[in-house]
Amino acid sequence: MQQVQRRSLHQARDSLAFASRLNPLMPRLGGLAKPVASAQYVGRRNFSGARVHAAPNDAVAAASELARTGAKLDVKKVLVVGSGGLSIGQAGEFDYSGSQAIKALKEANIETVLVNPNIATVQTSHELADHVYFAPVTPQYLAQIIEKERPDGIMLAFGGQTALNCGVQLDKMGVMEKFNVRVLGTSVRTLELSEDRDLFAKALKDIDIPVAQSTAVNTVQDALDAAKEIKYPVIVRSAYALGGLGSGFAANETELQALASQSLSLCPQILVERSMKGWKEVEYEVVRDAQDNCVTVCNMENFDPLGIHTGDSIVVAPSQTLSDEEYHMLRTAAIKIVRHMGVVGECNVPYALNPHSLEYCVIEMNARLSRSSALASKATGYPLAFVAAKIGLGWTLPELQNSVTTTTTACFEPSLDYVVTKIPRWDLSKFNHVSRDIGSCMKSVGEVMAIGRTFEESLQKAIRSVDPSFAGFAPIAECMPKEESELDEMLSSPTDRRLFYLAYAMLERDYTVERLHELTRIDRWFLYKLENICKVHKALKDPHQTLQNLGRAQLETAKRMGFADAQIAKLMGSNEDAVRAVRKQFGLRPFAKRIDTLAGEFPAPTNYLYTT
């Protein structure tokens, strides 16, 4: 028996060491005390009998047993604050995250109270929360509900900016202290630090993380004075705002005066900071538990350069143009920020990265579930909201089971062997005289996500998903200006249709990658990938090319580039059925692949699939 126990200890140590290799920032056995406590817990579970399980199943078995025993913190009833009515920048993503949080609470046998006036949501379904209040998400209504229900804890991270602002106000009103309500997850103090632009900048300077030169102001005159010191152009950002509301760029004093007046009418504080327009925009999703274990779940890169709100930008996961040095530099900084700020749960950290050097600046920090979090969760298969809710209840990452693989813990960072592309969905045609220009203030009303083995494939899939009338990366009738100067203007001034102007410029006007890069500041890597699509497009459209003399290699290349059968048929003057018949004759058939978070490293009995 003694020999078996010794072998169990070695295997428990191997399990933690294996997790450490996947997550270099997780201290190994014999290192810091906090993660060792988790290791000792796993060990006690394994020492209870003679049966020995192979790593990493030791930790997973313990995690599964713990998850069924109830909450680790002494909470019996929890209030979940929803996001309220739909608005630009705050829609179905928070319904998803709130639903996941409620499921996590129910699994821990905790009574749940939900406040959300939006009846058209999944989270308000009768089988989820125990009590649902269709009341406005305001501090006054929440205070009344807290007084009536007397919850032990409150979760603010799953209702977007609305819930976060209400939580801060409730704390200032003394409601939390009066009714002894514990904020589960990230503290109110951390939320205030992340939302107050001035306090956030000062906090990052304490740990030598670069932020853009900026000044927080409360009046228009102070904004003008700050801009003189920073030098034009500048960007204005609003505190406690959603979807970039009230933000924008100013190239001179007149523009700043108008912009600052508008922004200060929406919120009491704005930040005037150095403009980094044209830099790359990269985001990291980080999860941290109360014992300081951290994992970076996903990193994403914007197709468009900085200057366009991430909600209005095409986003690719994982990042495609970062070097290994750049990736790890930003990853290390993200973990350093999250630890310094004391985040407990999920956090989004967006960066501006100079494309010509290693210079970078932190744009902001969202210490809550966001649109990017929902995208990262769907892109990787890692249940961010579910894990964040469990962490808020006191679990640690090594104790939580990865629900996708069921063989690893939540402390494993996901690996992606595919490319995910997100494209926003605008509905600007419904409004008369509306500007189609896109910038730092979000205008999109939705988004689509597509998965493929190549960037070209996932991009074309996403374009078709946005609107069934779009065949793929190809010009559309509304985006074919006659004058070259007009086309240059459309490319250099971003609109919701810039992708189609790019297609027209490459396919019809033979613009080079270098010229397009100068006009758009889009990274050359992405432009070369678009050029790959254009080469196949032109080859298929060649009048000498027919379906009868189309070779297998050509058709296979077209499918790898994301061309649909209908798209190929249109280019070749044929029909979809004929193309499908030729494709089947060549043995080219769709194949379903699994999203398992681990790129096939461990078996995963999940039904999360995509076709390619």
pTM: 0.81
- Decide: helix, strand or coil at residue 201: helix
Residue 280 host element (H or E): strand 280-288
Positive or negative torsion for Cα 442, 443, 448, 453: negative
Residue with tokens 């995963």: 604
Residue whose pair of structure tokens reads 């996901």 in the numeric block: 414
Q: Which amino acid is at 546?
A: T
pLDDT category at 122 given cuts 50, 70, 90 is: confident
* CA-wise closest residue to 52 among 4, 86, 117, 2: 4
In 3D space, the residue among 334, 498, 317 whose CA is nearest the CA of residue 421 turns out to be 317
Choose the most confident range, by mean pLDDT, from 241-245, 475-479, 487-491. Answer: 487-491
Strand, helix or coil at 383?
A: coil
Find the DSSP H helices in 150-237.
160-173, 175-178, 188-195, 197-205, 220-230
| pLDDT confidence of residue 599 | 67
Beta strands in 363-412 (DSSP E): none
Tell me how far apart the alpha carbons of residues 91 and 69 are, in angstroms, rounded to a whole number: 33
Q: How far apart are CA 107 and CA 310, in angstroms?
A: 34
Closest C-alpha among 510, 458, 461, 459 to residue 484: 510
Checking if the pLDDT of 242 tops 70, the result is: no
Measured CA to CA, the distance from residue 504 to residue 348 in angstroms comes to: 35
Q: Please, is 22 exposed, middle or buried when counting C-beta atoms within 10 Å of its C-beta (0-12, 13-18, 19+)?
A: middle
Domain extent listing, the chain:
2-67, 77-184
Residue recorded with tokens 């700020």: 341
Radius of gyration of the CA atoms of the chain, in A: 26
In angstroms, the Cα distances linking 544 to 268, 548, 573 are: 65, 11, 12
Q: What is the pLDDT of residues 445-455, one digit of tens each?
A: 888 999 999 99
Report the first-to-last Cα separation within the chain, whole angstroms. Answer: 52
pLDDT of residue 88: 63
Contact 268, 280 (CB under 8 A): no
pLDDT digits 0-9 by tens, 588-609: 999 888 887 776 666 767 777 8
**Measured CA distances, 234 to 75, 196, 205, 252, 429 (Å):** 47, 19, 20, 8, 31
The pLDDT assigned to 3 comes to: 38
Residue 61 has pLDDT above 70, yes or no: no
Asked whether residue 66 carries a pLDDT value surpassing 60, the answer given is no
CB under 8 Å to 485, separation ≥6 — which residues?
none
| DSSP three-state, residue 459 | helix
Name, in order, each residue with C-beta under 8 angstroms of 535's C-beta and a sequence gap of 6 or more: none
Measured from the Cβ of residue 323, the count of other Cβ atoms closer than 10 Å reads 9
Report pLDDT digits (tens) over 299-319: 999 999 988 888 889 999 999
Burial (0-12, 13-18, 19+ Cβ within 10 Å), 95: buried
What does residue 560 show for φ and ψ, rounded to 5 degrees? -65, -30
Q: Is the pLDDT of residue 17 over 50?
A: no
For 372, counting Cβ atoms within 10 Å of its Cβ (0-12 exposed, 13-18 middle, 19+ buried), the class is: buried
CA distance 384 to 362: 22
Residue at 24: amino acid letter: P
Residues 29 and 433: their CA atoms lie apart, in Å, by 64
Q: Which of 47-56, 157-166, 418-427, 473-482: highest mean pLDDT? A: 418-427
Give the CA angle between residues 287, 292, 295 to the nearest 5°: 30
- The gap from C-alpha 498 to its chain's centroid, in whole angstroms, comes to 23
CA atoms of 36 and 417, how far apart (whole Å): 32
The Cα–Cα gap between 62 and 70 comes to: 14
pLDDT in tens, 424-442: 998 887 777 788 888 878 8
Q: Which residue has the tokens 């027209």?
A: 504
Angstrom distance (rounded) from CA 398 to CA 312: 36
Half-sphere exposure of 488 (CA within 13 A, CB side): 7
| Residue 89: pLDDT band with limits 50, 70, 90 | low
H helix runs in 174-289, sequence order: 175-178, 188-195, 197-205, 220-230, 253-266
Residue 368 — pLDDT band, cuts 50, 70, 90? confident
Q: Which two tokens stand for residue 254?
A: 């007149």
Place of tokens 């006191």: 394
Give the per-residue pLDDT at 289: 93
CA-nearest of 335, 390, 397, 387 to 365 is: 335
Q: Measured between alpha carbons, how far is residue 269 from residues 140, 215, 328, 552 in Å? A: 23, 10, 34, 61
Q: Is 598 helix (H, G, I), strand (E, B) or coil?
A: strand
CATH fold group of domain 77-184: Rossmann fold (3.40.50)
Q: Do β-strands 419-425 and 609-611 pair in parallel, antiparallel, or remain unpaired?
A: unpaired
Computed over every residue of the chain, the mean pLDDT equals: 82
Query: Using CA atoms, how far apart are residues 206 and 571, in angstroms rounded to an integer?
Result: 58
What residue type is 585 in one-letter code? Q
